Chains A and B, each alone.
Chain A
């Protein structure tokens, strides 16, 4: 961890009152002192040159000011954070750009939390809107319960107009459609963990794995909100691909990863969500599972932001045992080897690496993996940011900036020899679709087509031969 690590005090008053309460070192994350983190900054401005918002918005002072400079100018008891922090999209590119390990996004997140806590009027339209966007998951269950009505109502131009006028949610975008059946509903119907256990065992037997009973092949899936409510096909693809490799899947109770809450400075909401996640995922790790996420922002959040912002028991443990879904297979299985010889019929993809994959060092993986599959190719559309950054691009005041940032990506997508988009991030995928009109897929869906599709074909062949 960075120098900004806070001293711990075992004698926090009140902590001993309730032994089930995780020991909170800082009563409020907002009171975290990150000034020491400024020690690492030598002002080279590399972060500024990598910030997609600063590139298109002259009013945005950039990560160097936002992070180390602003923190260094602070004193204990100063609570006025510059409002420009709300223009940062939390893409976290500055984090990986910095050659000197300045905890930039931690600084932005904490400052944003403080800004919202201290400076934002709790009854303002902006606050309410941000809170709604940040807590999308709370509304999603309603939408999912009545998906058709919700989709119909959300799609009505009058609803969108109202959204813009009353809440400042841009009417330029189509609100994401709710699936008719959530992933979790499907999962339960399918028989939950028990079914998965059985299928994994069958798969292992079929693959000729040394151990048919293998408790090491167990993962806990962090699906996040979007693949639960909006794109269950991505979640189902994960399940099928992992079962193909003989993994038993658990789907623990979970809350939103917190990404949209950090980005909106709603640190209290994020803390509540994180507490549930750390508890449930920590328990899954106890049960011998590794944590796998299909959304790049979710994995980023569990791995980096949690330990930077919270200090629940097990936070570190969860961070260390969380993986991106494709990364995990490349490390634990011979994914490319498995894909050799598979083929998928169809069109090529225009692939965009999400910022949050880039930050985890995973920006090359999809291209390499798809390369192993015959019949299709993924064309990298470059390292620009998509510009939506979660809830950022949903706000009316950011819409233009967001589209300006996305321009480069849209152009490259259109130049690429493909009509379908590919990415691992749900909000990038919305932006890609919004800017080009393409259909957008997740890498896991391609893997499913190659591996599970191949299984299915093989089964079919076998049946035909037999029949």
Chain B
């Protein structure tokens, strides 16, 4: 029997999507399955730092060198997902001079461009730095949007013929003796683009080779075929500030520690992070003190953070791995390097390799190495092109920057939209139809939301990660309903309602960790607004026992005014 696909990739994080793109570009037939949305694992819960390597310049120079190489490549191939913010390693008066020197030398040894700034110069770059910072090392750190980068990889894989299935959970590995030949997946709403409420199905997908790229969940997949993969998941908290207090990545120049980086991310700044081993990557405590500690510690570098508004916090789990017998106690000491586990060599079970550990910044290099390995296994000779071929959206980035067209949008909205869409901007935004702003906090227009819907079906969280809609300071309070409205009339009322509930739930999940000060006011206003305008505190349409709502009992309302060409007057 012919296999369904040559290579089956498990996991839709940066690693899985990177591998899928790489292999598809080499001409292999690839299928990728992900149990939730793309980036739903660690990739969507990371800090967003495009490492220059400076962070590892003292402790792990091999990683540092790889980081700077990949950093330079991603600027080229993923320009629309990367912001060249630059970064500072900031020394406070109480921090060690010796370490500062080691950091500087380390950077030079790893070919990371580094320059020392005086305290005053550092404050000229970032005015909100504490008055007493001593000095800083400037390095080419950057900010990266993991959502868009990951999606762009998946999109390009599809354009090269791959099949990408989200909401398709692997529930079993198909094993015949000592050979793994595929998986069984459960499609939450059937195969293809997601549509809420559609019936679930299961499917067996057979493949010549399986790549397990499920990160912190790799152990769970292994168990399905009685393979032991010792992933040590370690959680970290990140707190999102409402505005960018800094436009440069700020690192504390100290050997290691919690809460030592601030990354400017799109409209926000993200504080992070911590490192604490957990037993289950799907179930671990999320505690308020972790957030408080983050803010307190980083306020030493940027005092304005103490009083600044926080819009949400989230936790991610690192897929740390140690070869059996290493026995490191402190998770911060576990290597950040990645491991390719060929189960044939390791366990005598052929047909699958697992990949664990690593960093987002180096996802492409990891994918290249794994793809080489898969090709070797399959006896295919094809070379990697991912370092040179730009991702969709990053072709001809320079011409876009020079382009003055703002598609009739107000300038900050046009600017942010173009930045998100990159070279796809004119395809997406160049519409003759009305194009009102749907999400005002992030400046996302209808055209961009519709473009995302066309990629991902009725899943509004998938729209969110593509566009940033609902990621601003109202945390969806004002725009979730407008986003859901965009699904209609393509999707019917129950589907739209389910999609809206799911999106708003997801927003609440992170916002509940920021309920003090301004964000508490925001949450209260959101609540009142949703309760009074949409009945969302007690919606009869949601009541379990209620026979369906009698819409005919309502009058038709006023006749709808004609839509104006400029989109004003629209919702």
Contact = CB atoms under 8 A, between A and B. Distances in A.
Contacts of B131: 7, 9
Contacts of A7: 123, 127-128, 131, 303-304
B478 A43 contact: yes
A84 interface: yes
Interface stretch (B240-248, B503-511, B539-547): B240-248
A73 B413 contact: yes
Interface stretch (B15-23, B166-174, B341-349, B469-477): B469-477
B378 interface: no
A72 B518 contact: no
A36 interface: yes
A38 B245 CA distance: 11
A286 interface: no
A152 interface: no
Instruction: Give the 4 A-B residue pairs with the shortest CB-CB distance, closest first.
Output: A39-B309, A76-B247, A73-B412, A35-B243
Nearest to B442: A73
A40 B120 contact: no
B308 A3 contact: yes
Given A6-B127, A73-B267, A81-B411, A39 B522 contact: no
Interface in A13-53: 33, 35-36, 38-44
Given A3-B308, A70-B412, A42 B474 contact: yes
Contacts of B473: 38-39, 41-43, 72
16 contacts: A7-B127, A9-B127, A36-B243, A38-B243, A39-B309, A39-B518, A41-B473, A42-B522, A43-B441, A43-B474, A43-B478, A43-B525, A61-B410, A72-B472, A73-B413, A73-B416
B307 interface: yes
Given A9-B120, A72-B441, A35 B244 contact: yes
Interface in B401-449: 410-413, 415-416, 440-443
B415 A36 contact: no
Given A7-B304, A36-B304, A84-B410, 6 more contacts: A7-B127, A9-B120, A39-B309, A44-B525, A72-B243, A73-B415
Nearest to A5: B304
B59 to A, nearest CB: 31
B570 to A, nearest CB: 12
A400 B308 CA distance: 42
B247 A39 contact: no
A332 interface: no
A58 B416 CA distance: 23
Interface residues of B, number: 37
Nearest to B523: A42
Contacts of A39: 242-243, 308-309, 473, 518
B247 A36 contact: no
A159 interface: no
Contacts of A84: 410
A265 to B, nearest CB: 15
Contact of B242 (A33, A38, A70): A38
A339 to B, nearest CB: 44
Contacts of A61: 410
Contact of A42 (B245, B411, B443, B525): B525
Nearest to B568: A58
Contacts of B243: 35-36, 38-39, 71-72
B383 interface: no
B521 interface: yes
Given A35-B244, A75-B247, A65 B440 contact: yes
Interface string B556-571: 0000000000001000
Contacts of A58: 568
Nearest to B472: A72
Contacts of B477: 43
A74 interface: yes
A75 to B, nearest CB: 6
Interface residues of A, number: 35
Contacts of B525: 42-44
Interface of A: 3, 6-7, 9, 11, 33, 35-36, 38-44, 58, 61, 64-65, 69-78, 80-84, 100
A434 to B, nearest CB: 30
Contacts of B413: 73
A18 B160 CA distance: 66
B123 A9 contact: yes
A43 B478 CA distance: 8
Contacts of A42: 473-474, 518, 521-522, 525
Contacts of B521: 42, 100
Given A44-B525, A69-B440, A100-B521, A36 B308 contact: yes
A15 to B, nearest CB: 12
B411 A82 contact: yes
Contacts of A3: 304, 307-308
Contacts of B127: 6-7, 9, 33
Interface in B99-130: 120, 123, 127-128
Nearest to A34: B243
A60 to B, nearest CB: 11
Interface in B231-246: 242-245
B81 to A, nearest CB: 16
Contacts of A70: 412
A80 B410 CA distance: 10
A79 to B, nearest CB: 10
B191 to A, nearest CB: 39
A82 B518 contact: no
A180 B386 CA distance: 80
Given A11-B120, A39-B243, A69-B441, A80 B307 contact: no
Interface string B233-266: 0000000001111010000000000000000100
Contact of B410 (A9, A77, A82): A82
B521 to A, nearest CB: 5
Nearest to B128: A7
Nearest to B443: A73
A74 B412 contact: yes
A275 to B, nearest CB: 23
A82 B413 CA distance: 9
A70 B410 CA distance: 10
Contacts of B415: 73, 78, 80
B291 to A, nearest CB: 17
Nearest to A42: B522
A78 B83 CA distance: 13
Nearest to A35: B243
Nearest to A115: B411
A1 to B, nearest CB: 13
B145 to A, nearest CB: 14
Contacts of A9: 120, 123, 127, 131
Interface in B447-506: 472-474, 477-478
A80 B244 contact: no
B88 to A, nearest CB: 14
B445 to A, nearest CB: 13
A72 B267 contact: yes
A75 B308 CA distance: 17
Nearest to B247: A76
A40 B308 CA distance: 9
B401 to A, nearest CB: 13
Nearest to B242: A39
A298 to B, nearest CB: 32
A44 B131 CA distance: 35
Nearest to A73: B412
Contacts of B244: 35, 75-76
B117 to A, nearest CB: 14
Contacts of A40: 309, 518
B412 A80 contact: yes
B2 to A, nearest CB: 52
A3 B123 CA distance: 18
Contacts of A80: 411-412, 415
B271 to A, nearest CB: 15
Nearest to A100: B521
Contacts of B568: 58
